[in-house]
Homo-oligomer: A and B are copies of this chain.
């Protein structure tokens, strides 16, 4: 039924490659099928103005797509002179989600800047970004701990994210672009490794969705995120 031939409960092939580029403290290539995102975590010895002198750190995120990561070439945001609403919305979601993984006081007065740059898009770029960025974040924190800069571990839990939706009447997990662009409902879920919800964002694209559909989607998301958390652990112990 699904264009890809997957079962409704199947994730795409997920692959997490650490140390993908050489300069960043954490650098991950995350692949959810044909969706490929470079996630880097950069440690900076400063905090935003509103946190100066408060003894706490910060995690922030930026998101971008290469112009030809998509089927048709998109205008380059740097050339157009501003980031679009979709971009800002996604990077706010990524930053908020990752801050839920970190004890900002344990981080001290420093910042970790996450960059998620999509080099190939096939649906689910924001969920892949969050899932990959959390691994890059762990590597950046390890880098700080190896330098003995932290008194205690600021990582409070792992987080991962997946999309779920209703496609041709059936709730499905981890939508690719062919599904995403035709789904009746599209929901992005971020959870932590204790099974708690960080974010639930569900949008009816066509008809409204029922409470039952909502529940079915959340069940799928919960199961998919468990698998993603295992793939993250495998990558981190690799």
Q: Say if the beta carbon of A49 comes within 8 Å of chain B.
A: no
Q: Say if the beta carbon of A202 comes within 8 Å of chain B.
A: yes
Contact with B along A42-85 (1 / 0, CB 8 A): 10100000000000000000101011111101001111011111
Of B88, B100, B198, which contacts A89 at CB under 8 A?
B88
Cα–Cα distance between A203 and B210 once the two chains are bound (Å): 20
Select the stretch in A146-154, A189-197, A227-235 that faces chain B: A189-197
Of B76, B119, B191, B203, which contacts A21 at CB under 8 A?
B119
Of B73, B86, B199, which contacts A42 at CB under 8 A?
B73
Of B21, B38, B82, B198, which contacts A81 at CB under 8 A?
B82
How large, as a class, is the contact surface on chain A?
A: 35 or more
Select the stretch in A4-12, A22-30, A126-134, A167-175 that faces chain B: A22-30
Cross-chain contact A202 with B211 (CB below 8 angstroms): no
Contact with B along A135-169 (1 / 0, CB 8 A): 00000000000000000000000000000000000
Cα–Cα distance between A23 and B202 once the two chains are bound (Å): 28
Cα–Cα distance between A129 and B214 once the two chains are bound (Å): 25
Cross-chain contact B69 with A21 (CB below 8 angstroms): yes
Chain A interface residues toward B at CB < 8 A = 21-24, 27, 34, 36, 38, 40, 42, 44, 62, 64, 66-71, 73, 76-79, 81-89, 91-92, 96, 100, 113, 115, 117, 119-121, 187, 191-192, 194-204, 207-211, 214, 218
Question: What are 12 A-B residue pairs whose CB atoms fall within 8 Å in the complex?
Answer: A21-B69, A23-B69, A38-B66, A62-B67, A67-B113, A76-B115, A88-B88, A89-B92, A96-B203, A196-B210, A198-B204, A211-B218
Please name 16 further chain A to chain B contacts, defined as beta carbons within 8 Å, in addition to the given A78-B82, A81-B81, A100-B208, sorted by A numbering: A22-B34, A23-B69, A24-B68, A24-B73, A44-B73, A62-B67, A64-B78, A67-B115, A68-B115, A73-B113, A79-B83, A85-B91, A88-B89, A187-B200, A196-B207, A197-B209
